[in-house]
Amino acid sequence: MTPTSLGDSESGWGFILPGMCDPLLAISSMLLGGSAAYVILSLAERMRATDQVRLKWRWLSIGAVAAGLEIWALHFIGNLAFCPQTPTEQDLLPALASVLSAGTAGAVAVYFISSYDGSRTRLVCGGLLMGTCVSMVHFTSLLAMRQLVDLHVSVLALVFSILMSVALGIAVILLGAWNITYGGWRVTEKASAMGLAISGAHFSGMIHAYSAPVITAGVSPPGIEVELLAVVVVALSSVLAIIDRQLTTASSLVRDTHARMVEAIESVPQGVSLFDADDRLVICNRKYREVVSEEGIEVQPGDSFESIIRRIALRGDIPAAIGDVDSWVNTRLAMHRNPQGPYIQYRSNGEWIQVNEKKTQDGGVIAISTDITELKQAEQAAEDATARLADSLALVEAAKARMQEELNVGRDIQRSMLPRVFPAFPDRKELELYAMLEPAMEVGGDLYDFFMVDDHRLCFAIGDVSGNGVPAALFMAMTKIMVKTRAMSDPSPASIITYVNDALSADNDSCMFVTLYLGLLNLRNGTLVTTNAGHNPPLLKRQGGTFEWLKSQDGPIVGPIPGIAYKENMIQLDPGDELFFYTDGVTEADNVRRELFGSDRLKTLLERSGEVSVVDRIGEVMKAVKAFSHGAPQADDITMLGLRYHGIAPSGVEMEVFRQTMPNQLTAIPVLQTAFEDYVAQWSGARPLIPTLNMALDDLLNNVVQYAFPNDSVPHHIVVEGDVRDGSVVLTITDDGIPFNPLTVAAPDFALLLHEREIGGLGIHLIRSMFDEVVYRRTVGHNVLTVKKKLASQEPPAPKEPDMTGIGALEGGRMPQSLLQDSRREGMSVESRQNGAVVIVTPLERFDTNSAPEVERILMDHISHGVRQLVLDLSRISYISSIGVRVIVKTLMAMSKTGGNVVLYGGNDHVRTVIHLSGALMMSLHVPTLEEAMTKVQGADF
């Protein structure tokens, strides 16, 4: 080994002696230089590659330690190589300082190489720092060597050395950066080149230290330790290089993985971003970048999450943040730091972004942003559709409610059609009546009704229309109105139902029908006339008796079939009798076991209910039906009507209504007339009407007997009813003969009267003229003729027509006694007497159906015996009917053939009225007195 001086302060670097160099140590030193360079490059490269601050720090510190140690070792060995003879003992402190400086130099090298971005300032700074550190290494390591000789340091050489070090540092950084950025070389090749550069630089840099060597001979170097140390250091460096090689492989694996990961996240359509525990962006894909970046500001790894979101908020991307960016950012940050679930963000451009954030194991956050705009739009469309649906639903609901409302109105109308005020007739002591209807649906098909037709006749009805609902309700309403309208003018239930059936069956294609039970009860005498048209049989309970079915049937259901003639039945009710009517809603009520309530159960129930009011009876049945059904839905309307007849209240008048039946024999007429006279005579105001009523009875009954029963040998009954009330007399004649409406017979032609033919229609003409109302009705199987005449007022009645004949008022029956000679009674009802050539014939009492044949016979007898002057004395009859008038007409016709004369005289008001109404000819033959009659009949004015 050649001693070399470490420096010579006196001679400067002019005294440069080439040092003696231990070649082994020199090579070791150079290897170490390469090794250090390798470490620096490798670590700088890794540091640059990673995005994680923590990793950067790790690589930096490792670089500092490894490169530092090697740099120091490089110098140490280098020093040894140059001055092997110097003792190797070292001062601890400067040695440590030199190690630290070496470490700092390594760190500086790694940092500046890894972060080199072309900036000159950074390069110079790095070079300065590194140069300083390297110089420090040199200086302190020399200082640490305890030399037996004084170390003379040339200041100039020192400065030069420092400058060299700085230049070296700059070169190292430049080279390293160039190596990493552009070099196609492998790391080992780069390191070899750099190591050569470093060692070369040292060689030149160390010259100053050896420029003035003071060789102190005689000191033997420690010897073997140095060589050993060199070998150990080189071996260590080699091991380090091998480990590093492995690390590099591993890290390249990591890098590959990382690259694959990048590729993977780039291929994901969603925006992917990863933030570290400090909320710094670690990695993201292009999609994320597109979303959060803007012109000029690319989002970079290392950007803080807050800065990213603040930026997009500030540029107005987030409608929710506009106006108050800070609070939105804070909220968003809180959510980011503690992600709970998907977060949906609406963007100003109309996009919907769903952000899924998840904490990673190291405290970072991975965020996946999905563009769910389409989904949102679909959702929105679905929501709109739902809203529209809800609107439609609301409309339907409204329509339903309106329909319900209308149904309710329908129900109200329908209900209001039924009489519902009870007691129905509080001032009617003769009647107890109650009815109820429990509808199964809103509008039902059952009906009941009751009303007074006049002051003593009650009409009631109960019915059930097929089906229920609106059609049934309409049908029910029609039925009810028709029945009531018809009943006001038709006294026969059979007739009413026949009429209603014909009316309903017109245009009834759907075969709707109604079962009907109709009754007309005369409250004065308890006569009940009923017609059951396909309805459930009612029950009758006689006073003190039990409920019994009224099984009669008078015809089929009403509505589907036209042209049915219904029958009717008469039941005489006595005081205390009770009737129970119902619809099949009662008997066909069923329970959950589908059993029917049934008619037997109903009858038993009615029996058991005992003597209770009609209201209570119906209440009991209703209760029993409900109990039986036991919550099963009511299938059909339930309707009941109860009626109890209490009889008429006693009154002073014995016989309020006249009702008598007679056989269809003309001879029965007088008996009936007498009875009716007795009835009418009860009212003094009605007595003056007796002749007129007798005439009407005679004419009408004659008509009936003669025309209603042609070729009929079966005896029939004619019902005559009379009633004096409300200032009128009403007379009704009912027969069951063939239909015959006398009112259709034309009024007689009075111009032809009495000459050409027998008169027809005179009777009806008289009745029409003398009564206030004449009505014919054909009910089922019956002719009903009703006449009505007002009672005369207290004043004497004025003549009905102006007296054209001058007959004037004449007291009936007034007859000069002198003329009553040769009078002989020729029969039951007529007298005749002779006065000269004049024969006077006097009908007695009545001149009607029964007396007319006899009067006619006598008159014809006189004429056939040559009598040519005939006086008909009408002063002794109480009334004359058209049959009497017809006898007069016949007499006139017979006499006119012989050229004789007939004169009429006398008669009460009634008789004179009839004569007046019988035409002008009849009137012209009539004179007031017998004297005038005698004169007239013998006179020449014929």
Partner 1 sequence: MDQRTRHTLIVGSREDAGITFVKMDGSLSATTSDQGIQEMKKIVDAGAKKVVVNLAGVDYISSGGIRVLMIAHKQLSQVQGEMKIAGAKGMVKEALEASGFHLLNRVYGGNIQLCSTDEEAAAAFKN
In whole angstroms, what is the distance from residue 398 CA to residue 742 CA? 62
Of the residues 515, 783, 850, 901, which one makes contact with partner 1 according to CB under 8 A: 515
Bridge pairing between strands 845-847 and 877-880: parallel
Question: Measured from the CB of residue 741, what is the shortest distance to partner 1 in angstroms?
Answer: 25
Of these, 73, 465, 780, 892, which contacts partner 1 (CB under 8 A)? 465
Q: Are strands 869-873 and 838-843 parallel, antiparallel or unpaired?
A: parallel
Which tokens belong to 562?
A: 């036209």
Q: What is the x/- site pattern for partner 1, positions 555-584, by CB under 8 A?
A: xxx--xx-xx-------------------x
Nearer to partner 1, 593 or 865 (CB): 593
For residue 579, what are its two tokens? Answer: 């009737």
How far CA 732 is from CA of 50, 776, 789, in Å, comes to 128, 10, 12
Of the candidate residues 186, 594, 630, 865, the single one contacting partner 1 (CB under 8 A): 594
- Which residue in 304, 466, 525, 938 binds partner 1 (CB under 8 A)? 466
CA distance 31 to 28: 5
Q: Packing angle between helix 155-181 and helix 92-114, nearest 10 degrees?
A: 40
Q: How far is the CB of 478 from partner 1 (least distance, A)?
A: 16
Task: Rule CB under 8 A: say whether 699 interacts with partner 1.
Answer: no
633 binds partner 1 (CB under 8 A): no
C-beta closer to partner 1: residue 317 or 584: 584
- The C-alpha angle with vertex 96 and arms to 93 and 102, in degrees rounded to 5, equals 140
Q: Does 595 bind partner 1 (CB under 8 A)?
A: yes
CA angle 596, 598, 601 (to 5 degrees): 120
- Which residue's CB is nearer to partner 1, number 583 or number 918? 583
CA dihedral 860, 864, 869, 870 (to 10 degrees): -20
Please return the burial class of 196, using the count of CB atoms within 10 Å of its CB with bins 0-12, 13-18 and 19+.
Answer: middle
Please count the residues of this chain forming the interface with partner 1, following the rule CB under 8 A. 35
**Least separation, in Å, of the C-beta of 521 and partner 1?**
23
Question: Do residues 491 and 482 make contact, with C-beta atoms less than 8 angstroms apart?
Answer: no
Quickly list DSSP for 804-861.
Answer: SS------TT---GGG--S-EE-SSSEEEEEETTEEEEEE-EEESTTTHHHHHHHHHH
Binding of residue 467 to partner 1 (CB under 8 A) = yes
3 state SS of 662: strand
533 binds partner 1 (CB under 8 A): yes
How many helices (H) and strands (E) the chain has is answered by: 24, 28
Q: Which of 118, 224, 295, 593 binds partner 1 (CB under 8 A)?
A: 593
Q: How far apart are CA 193 and CA 205, in angstroms?
A: 18
Q: 422 or 549, CB closer to partner 1? A: 549
Closer residue to partner 1 (CB): 67 or 564: 564
| DSSP state string for 29-68 | HHHHHHHHHHHHHHHHHHHHH---HHHHHHHHHHHHHHHH
Return the range that interacts with partner 1 (CB under 8 A); candidates 194-202, 533-541, 846-854, 877-885. Answer: 533-541
For residues 556 and 827, which CB has a smaller minimum distance to partner 1 in the complex? Answer: 556
Q: How far is the CB of 852 from partner 1 (least distance, A)?
A: 43
Please answer whether residues 52 and 96 qualify as being in contact, where contact means their C-beta atoms are separated by less than 8 angstroms: no
Using CB under 8 A as the binding rule, whether residue 781 contacts partner 1 is answered as no
Using the minimum distance from each CB to partner 1, give the nearer residue, 502 or 826.
502
Can you tell me which of 510, 741, 864, 924 binds partner 1, judged by CB under 8 A? 510
* Phi, psi at 353, each rounded to 5°: -115, 125
Q: Which is nearer to partner 1, 125 or 632 (CB)?
A: 632
Contact flag: residue 639 with partner 1 (CB under 8 A)? no
- The answer to whether residues 100 and 142 touch, using CB atoms and an 8 Å cutoff, is no
* 588 part of the interface to partner 1, by CB under 8 A: yes
Tell me the chain's radius of gyration from C-alpha atoms: 72
In the complex with partner 1, the residue whose CB is nearer, 100 or 632, is 632
Helix, strand, coil fractions of the chain, as percent rounded to 5 = 50, 20, 35
CA distance 44 to 66: 12
| Burial of 127: CB neighbours in 10 Å, binned 0-12, 13-18, 19+ | buried
Residue 856 sits in the site that holds partner 1 (CB under 8 A): no
Amino acid at 354: Q
Is residue 501 a contact residue for partner 1 (CB under 8 A)? no
Choose the binding region for partner 1 from 340-348, 511-519, 693-701, 746-754 (rule: CB under 8 A): 511-519
- 625 touches partner 1 by CB under 8 A: no
Comparing CB distances to partner 1, the nearer of 441 and 858 is 441
Q: Which of 499, 513, 658, 847 binds partner 1 (CB under 8 A)?
A: 513
Q: What is the DSSP letter of 705?
A: I
d(CA 860, CA 877): 20
519/919 with CB nearer partner 1: 519
Shortest Cβ 530–partner 1 spacing (Å): 14
**Using CB under 8 A, which of 512, 528, 785, 859 touches partner 1?**
512
Considering the rule CB under 8 A, would residue 471 count as an interface residue with partner 1?
no
Q: Looking at 63-71, 152-160, 239-247, 510-518, which segment touches partner 1 (CB under 8 A)?
A: 510-518
Could you give the CA distance from residue 48 to residue 63 in angstroms, rounded to a whole number?
13
Write the interaction track for partner 1 spanning residues 419-448; mark x where CB under 8 A is met and - where it is not: --------------------------x---
| Selected range binding partner 1 among 155-163, 505-513, 781-789, 886-894, rule: CB under 8 A | 505-513
Q: Residue 183 or residue 537: which is nearer to partner 1 going by CB?
A: 537
Pick the closer one to partner 1 by CB: 582 or 679. Answer: 582
Least gap, CB of 513 to partner 1 (angstroms): 7
Among residues 464, 568, 698, 873, which is the contact residue for partner 1, using CB under 8 A?
464
Closest CA to 33 of 89, 117, 109, 112: 109
Q: Distance between CA 141 and CA 96 in Å, rounded? A: 9
Backbone angles phi, psi at 82, to 5 degrees: -80, -35
Kindly state whether residue 807 participates in binding partner 1, applying the rule CB under 8 A. no
Residues 152-191 that bind partner 1 (CB under 8 A): none
Under rule CB under 8 A, residue 480 binds partner 1: no
Residue 596 in the binding site for partner 1 (CB under 8 A): yes
630 binds partner 1 (CB under 8 A): no
Q: Which of 317, 449, 636, 721 binds partner 1 (CB under 8 A)?
A: 636
Task: Supply the minimum distance, in Å, between the C-beta of residue 632 and partner 1.
Answer: 11
User: Out of 310, 524, 535, 926, which residue is the one contacting partner 1 (CB under 8 A)?
Assistant: 535
Q: Which is nearer to partner 1, 439 or 534 (CB)?
A: 534
Residues 610/547, Cβ–Cβ less than 8 Å: no
Q: What is the residue-wise DSSP string for 497-530?
A: HHHHHHHHHTT-TT---EEEEEEEEETTTTEEEE
Stretch of residues binding partner 1 (CB under 8 A), selected from 320-328, 477-485, 553-561, 867-875: 553-561
Minimum distance from residue 587 beta carbon to partner 1 (Å)? 9
Least Å distance between CB 461 and partner 1? Answer: 16
Closest CA to 915 of 938, 932, 940, 892: 892
Pick between residue 111 and residue 448 the one whose CB is nearest to partner 1. 448
Residues engaged in binding partner 1 (CB under 8 A)? 445, 464-468, 510-513, 515, 533-537, 553, 555-557, 560-561, 563-564, 584, 588, 590, 593-596, 598-599, 635-636
